Amino acid sequence: MSEAKSLIQSEIDYELSGKQTGFLRLPYSVHRSAYGWIPVPIVMLKNGSGPTALVMSGNHGDEYEGQVTLTKLCQNLDADDIQGRLIILPMANYPAAHAGLRTSPFDAGNLNRSFPGDPGGNPTQMIAHYIEEILMPMCDYFFDLHSGGSSLRYPATVLRKRGDDGDQEAALEALQQSFDAPFGFIFGGRNDPRVSSAAAWRKGVLGLTTELGGAGTVTPEILAIAERGVNRLLHHIGLLPGYEPDATRGMRRMELTGQDYFVYARDEGLFEPYVDLLAEVKAGEPAGAIHHPETPWVAPTICHFEHDGLAICQRIPARVELGDCLFHLATDI
């Protein structure tokens, strides 16, 4: 393996057995630190022979459920628990995660819109390039733990693409089922080539992503599902042979097939939702009102659902602008 293609230097030797901890050092020369580097934390556990998985969170820095789950995993796992190689990046876009922001305060980069990245680009592009070109080629599996972040909220949901053929479809379905989240979601249509799951696809790595809560916080309920799910997933792929999964609780299989599953703000103002997360709604039903407290004599703008379905994602901040996503739906497969 050569790292010559990236200026990022790893303190981890990916071929060594045992538990290693350290940083990916991303050179960042600025006024206050001429020879400094940005510290992207990394933990690797390697033991015996088995698959390699990269598990990451903090792709979006304001999505905390995965960051807490993976930090606890780094604390709790030792190399003898592993059969294979597990690489953990709890704060993949470190500047964004350190700031508690979706995007990096250093370059405004959204890591999940930055793949395949650029080894000579800004810090976010350099991280994307390192993940796609250095880490993913070592991997059999890739799991990227997202949530709704500051502006959205989801129930605990595991997402995947459709497989390219029957075998891949079966493998992805089994992976998704192994997490045993209450909701399992399959993307329809074409994937954005700039997201991490598209990077994994390009490298032939089987992957899943999640939407585990959001609203800029963590809850005991979501964390329990996330921790259990990650352990089950790692056990399923053979990396955590000693973990004993409890009985499955069942996953509701959902999909999203078109733009009419989304409700967007058609105006600016204060959004009053008429339904809660996980409401079952009908096409034509009002989703909520956008009020105009600056001109309270102007009637509110009513937004409508354009499809039947389950409200699986809801906007959190009440202040909205034209084009903000207010809800999106999912339907049973």
Comparing CB distances to Zn ion, the nearer of 65 and 140 is: 65
Among 146, 161, 291, 328, binds Zn ion (CB under 5 A): 146
Residue pair 137/297 in contact by the 8 Å Cβ criterion: no
Comparing CB distances to Zn ion, the nearer of 115 and 305 is: 115
Among 9-17, 20-28, 84-92, 139-147, the segment contacting Zn ion (CB under 5 A): 139-147
The DSSP string of 205-262 is -EEEEEEEEETTS--HHHHHHHHHHHHHHHHHTTS-TT---------EEEEE-SGGGE
Q: Shortest approach of Zn ion to residue 297 CB, angstroms?
A: 39
Residue type, 205: V
Q: Shortest approach of Zn ion to residue 130 CB, angstroms?
A: 19
Q: Shortest approach of Zn ion to residue 29 CB, angstroms?
A: 29
What is the footprint of Zn ion within residues 8-67 (CB under 5 A)?
A: 60, 63
Comparing CB distances to Zn ion, the nearer of 63 and 180 is: 63
Interaction between residue 153 and Zn ion (CB under 5 A): no
Q: Shortest approach of Zn ion to residue 321 CB, angstroms?
A: 20
Reading the block at residue 65, the tokens are 């459920």
Residue type, 227: E
Reading the block at residue 175, the tokens are 């992976």
Characterize the bridge pairing of strands 206-214 and 319-320. Answer: unpaired
Tell whether omega for the bond before 90 is within 30 degrees of 0, i.e. cis: no
Comparing CB distances to Zn ion, the nearer of 46 and 60 is: 60
First to last CA, the chain: 42
Comparing CB distances to Zn ion, the nearer of 60 and 228 is: 60
Comparing CB distances to Zn ion, the nearer of 63 and 132 is: 63
**Helix/strand/coil for 85:** strand
Q: Shortest approach of Zn ion to residue 59 CB, angstroms?
A: 6
Which positions ≥6 away from 273 have C-beta within 8 Å? Answer: 287, 288, 314, 315, 326, 327
What is the footprint of Zn ion within residues 65-124 (CB under 5 A)?
A: none
Q: What is the contact mask toward Zn ion in residues 215 to 254, using x (rule: CB under 5 A)?
A: ----------------------------------------
**CA 238 distance to own-chain centroid:** 22
Among 1-9, 122-130, 141-149, 224-232, the segment contacting Zn ion (CB under 5 A): 141-149
Which positions ≥6 away from 302 have C-beta within 8 Å? Answer: 286, 288, 289, 290
Comparing CB distances to Zn ion, the nearer of 60 and 85 is: 60
Among 119-127, 142-150, 215-223, 266-274, the segment contacting Zn ion (CB under 5 A): 142-150
Q: Which residues bind Zn ion (CB under 5 A)?
A: 60, 63, 146
